[in-house]
Chain A
Amino acid sequence: MHKIDLIRNFSIIAHIDHGKSTLADRFLQHTESVDDRNFQDQLLDNMDLERERGITIKSHPVSIRFRGSNEREYSLNLIDTPGHVDFSYEVSRSLAACEGAVLLIDATQGVQAQTVANVNLAIRQNLVIIPVINKIDMQAADIDTCREQLEEILAIPADEAILASAKDGVGITEILEAVINRIPSPKRMDNEILRALIFDSVYDSFRGVINYVRIVSGGIKAGDEIRLFSSGVVSAVKEVGVFSPEMTPVGQLEVGSVGYVIANIKSPEDSKIGDTITGKVQSCDQPLRGFREIQPMVFSGIYPIDSADYEPLKQSMAKLRLNDSAFTFQPETSAALGFGCRCGFLGLLHMEIVQERLRREYGMNIIATYPSVIYHVYLKNGEMLEVDNPLHLPDASTIDRLEEPIVKASIISPVAYIGGIMNLIMDKRGVCGETNTVDQYHVMMAAELPLHEIVIDFHDKLKTITKGYGSMDYEPFGYRAAPLVKMEIKVNDEPVDAFTTIVHRDYAAARGRQLAERLQEIIPQHLFKIPIQAAVGGNVIARETVRALRKDVTAKCYGGDITRKRKLLEKQKEGKKKMKQIGKVNIPQDAFVKVLKSNTS
């Protein structure tokens, strides 16, 4: 038997919280890939942010050795995938490196909208699906409904489903056996020319670019000369290895396997996810089919708090982009905020994650502006402009019409919340489409909605309305004309361009009031009163005032208090430095994100 026949490459498709990380942990423990001493929960979620939020953002491969009941030893490569609505792009590139996928369904929650989207993605890529119904130990588990959903929504035979409890370690062996028996080994290639798919990469300040690869043909070892197909960069391989689960060097990565390649690539820009690595001398003629290139849909400006940090910020963004190619950025300037970058994201969560990563991993003090989408602006002279920054909206008198991006959303929810969801869709200027029954308890609703409305807080509100049981997925659905206007926000009589937004004319007054009220809560009191105004075309449509600070003093300060007190004041002073000064007003860094998270509609 050839070595390649003993390799299986697979990933786990699951909705957020359905137990994917726990299952991955069990695989590692069950196969003794990590000893118990080094074990910590959610081993694969190595970004702090991931453990904190309980979600996986970055896909993250690991190699497992597993002896099957046929007494053969297999090498299983698990390529982890994220589960949130913003990250279907990450899912698609993880799937491109696999022949199969474990579909994990929470027995208490059932199939979620996003899972449907990801399973369809996997089926389109000809992956074998192994359905697993997890959390069967829970009291609320409803296995029959899950089976019904598998057949009705996903057209997967219910009898293929494996019952499991990752928490209690039930069903783990069955899943691993199914992986070796149902998922095919990687295809053998006729030629021996190296072709490796880069499905992810990270930047290490000591070692440079580390590419995560799937070897499709040929093999790769230290000392080889390689070429990156699209950039043409040639470089020598310094180290190859596998994830077990830490990066472990090996002599050679052979055909079919998954691992990492460290070459002499120092510049993040030279390495592109989806690119093909081939030999320098013996090169392939065609690159491997890359992934669906996804375009960012949400845009926001990111600025350094301290203008001196502009260059370091750009460098940090370049490194971050290396393993998050869906994130884009280009320089822009703002009257209020100075030099910064216009950044593109897949969605609001993606935006927040990128901001958090810039802060935590790169130590940047940043401020982000109100998010926007790409508007199509048709001018009277027949020209069409794409505007991703409300500031660049041309003068209203020159505009013939404005079109905004629309998405087609599909929402799965328990029947009881249909009314609430319909109200939400209408509040968000959406149009309800057809509603289909999923099983006796659930429906799948279709709706067309302006993307901008989804960007703001649709997902959070959906979760609230459905008590956490509703789920949503969406895809672009073209552009549609709407009576849109530019709304400006003035703080202390100075326009803050970073808050400028494009809104529907009929919703402008409500949105303006909401923004002004939120800003009134967020902007700290100063020694003077601060008027906050929302205006459309010079007309003030909402007004709030932050009262002048009257009292800022500690009542007691005696001999025993002085040291503690000075340290507290110093800390508070540091906190103030982290705010952005706009005119005479200090605005907290997170103000621009916080204004979005309103509780009112």
Chain B
Amino acid sequence: MPFCARRCDYCAFYVYEKAASGLRREYLTRLESELKVKSEYCDPLATIYIGGGTPTYFSTRELREMLTMVTENFQFEAGYEFTVESNPDCLTPAKLTALIDGGVNRISTGIQSFSQGVLDAIGRPGKIERAYEAVDAIRASGIGNFNCDLIFGVPGQTISDWENDLKEISQLAPPHISAYSLMIEENTKLAESGTVEGDDELLSEMWNLAGEYLENHCGLRRYEISNYAKTGFECRHNQRIWMGNRFIGAGPSACYFDGVSRWTNPTTLASWLKNTPAVEDAVSSEQRAVEILITGLRTVDGWERFDFERVTGFDYSDIRGETICELTEAGLLVQDVNSLRLSNQGLLLADFIARELL
């Protein structure tokens, strides 16, 4: 869903600010036909994730319409997980009701920070009180499974600023937190203004603090580089993607994976509306296996040898045994007879490790 009230300074997505209702209508019409096509031959869904953009930027009616498209065209597995992303600013009680009516059982909300300075620095205006109100509203609606996004490593942010954000979020006690180190990506307002990512020592200190604080004060365990959850509240949708499961996607820039190739829909809304076909990312089965090895290693538990072989058809020791041993010796990987995961140091150097494995 590519619409937002305002594009954040760190956002590299093709989002459309304050889109006119006509354009939103065109989007919904085209989305419905794409979902219809993709629902044919589709197994019942284990997880559904609507992200953006800001899905809750839609009016209540548009939101209901979009959710109906999903529920009418697809079957869900028992115990499915259905997440919608939201912005505290536009998560009204009416929209919350619409979400619940539409089968949504998990909400992710972008709080980012409780510091006005940090929010200003990343171009996210809005009242901090809205974060508290939104979390209260989600709880009151009966949705107990929700996530709060936080951001750290923002220019000017000190370690004690970050600790304060962690303290504030622990008051709200969400069962899931995503805490992202600010990335400066190309084609963002931050990149254009010449902002650079923070010092790696400070960032790693902030990351370590997040792990300790959320575990000790909130009972959340880090289960992926940037994700923390109470046991049983991990985001199953993302877990399945990291572990190489197939998924479908719809909308501009949406990606999907058929088990062999990855596909990316046209990135701009205009080209997607014109039915421009998706672009295939075809690589050899071994390269695909290595890619899945890398995404799976982002999770703290990493891979069981047999799971990896079941998903990819390869034994990781056969295809990358030598590199795995080198990285294990360097203290970046932890290897057991039948499992492989990143060490604590390795989690912070996952890209380095990925380049070695590729």
Contact = CB atoms under 8 A, between A and B. Distances in A.
A559 B257 contact: yes
Contacts of B349: 527, 549, 551-553
B351 A555 contact: no
A551 B183 contact: no
B253 A550 contact: no
A559 B239 CA distance: 10
Contacts of B262: 562-563
B352 A557 contact: no
Interface in B236-256: 238, 241-242, 247, 249, 253-256
A547 interface: yes
B355 A573 contact: yes
B204 A551 contact: yes
Classify the interface of chain A: helix, strand, loop or mixed. Answer: loop
Contact of A559 (B247, B298, B350, B351): B247
B339 interface: no
Contacts of A553: 181, 225, 347-352
B355 A559 contact: no
A419 interface: no
Interface string B191-219: 00000000011011001000000000000
Interface in B113-139: none
B230 to A, nearest CB: 21
Nearest to B235: A558
A551 B200 contact: yes
B51 to A, nearest CB: 8
B80 interface: no
B255 A563 contact: yes
A555 B180 contact: yes
B143 interface: no
B354 interface: yes
B32 interface: no
B281 interface: yes
Contact of B255 (A525, A551, A556, A559): A559
B315 interface: no
A555 B358 CA distance: 19
Contacts of A563: 255, 262, 264, 281
Contacts of B355: 569, 572-573, 576
Given A549-B200, A555-B225, A563-B255, A527 B180 contact: no
Contacts of A572: 351, 355
A566 interface: yes
Contacts of B249: 559-560
Given A552-B348, A559-B249, A569 B226 contact: no
A570 B183 contact: no
B349 to A, nearest CB: 5
A381 interface: no
A570 B352 contact: no
Given A566-B358, A576-B355, A560 B348 contact: no
A38 interface: no
A569 B330 CA distance: 20
Categorize the interface residue count of chain B.
Answer: 35 or more
Contact of A569 (B200, B247, B254, B358): B358
A568 B352 CA distance: 12
B286 to A, nearest CB: 13
A554 interface: yes
B255 A562 contact: yes
B295 interface: yes
Contacts of B264: 560, 563
A570 B225 CA distance: 21
B291 interface: yes
A560 B204 contact: no
A551 B203 contact: yes
Given A525-B200, A550-B201, A552-B349, A560 B354 contact: no
Contacts of B238: 558-559
Contacts of B298: 557
A244 B70 CA distance: 69
Given A555-B181, A558-B238, A572-B355, A550 B348 contact: yes
Contacts of A562: 241, 255, 257, 262, 291, 295
A346 B232 CA distance: 71
Interface in A554-601: 554-560, 562-563, 566, 569-570, 572-573, 576
A569 B351 CA distance: 7
A527 B207 CA distance: 18
Nearest to A526: B352
Contacts of A576: 355
A560 B257 CA distance: 10
B200 A557 contact: no
Interface in B155-188: 180-183
Interface string A513-531: 0000000000001010000
Determine which residue in A550, A558, A576 has the highest number of CB atoms from chain B within 10 A of its CB, and name it: A550
Contacts of A550: 200-201, 203-204, 348
Contacts of B295: 557, 562
A570 B357 CA distance: 10
B239 to A, nearest CB: 11
Contacts of A558: 238, 241
A304 to B, nearest CB: 23
A527 B281 CA distance: 31
Nearest to B254: A560
A523 to B, nearest CB: 15
Contacts of B181: 551, 553, 555
Contact of B253 (A527, A549, A556, A560): A560
Contacts of B332: 527
B178 to A, nearest CB: 8
Contacts of B254: 560
B241 A552 contact: no
Nearest to A575: B355
Contacts of A552: 200, 348-352
A562 to B, nearest CB: 6
A527 B200 contact: no
Q: Which of B183, B207, B351 has the most CB of A within 10 A?
A: B351
A570 B291 CA distance: 11
A554 B351 contact: yes
A572 B356 CA distance: 11
A556 B180 contact: yes
5 contacts: A551-B204, A562-B255, A563-B255, A569-B355, A573-B358
Interface of B: 180-183, 200-201, 203-204, 207, 225-226, 238, 241-242, 247, 249, 253-257, 262, 264, 281, 291, 294-295, 298, 330, 332, 347-352, 354-355, 358
Given A559-B249, A569-B294, A572-B351, 16 more contacts: A527-B332, A527-B352, A550-B201, A553-B225, A553-B348, A553-B350, A555-B226, A557-B295, A559-B255, A560-B264, A562-B255, A563-B255, A566-B281, A566-B294, A569-B358, A570-B358
> Closest 8 interchain pairs by CB?
A555-B180, A550-B204, A551-B200, A553-B350, A563-B281, A552-B352, A559-B241, A555-B181
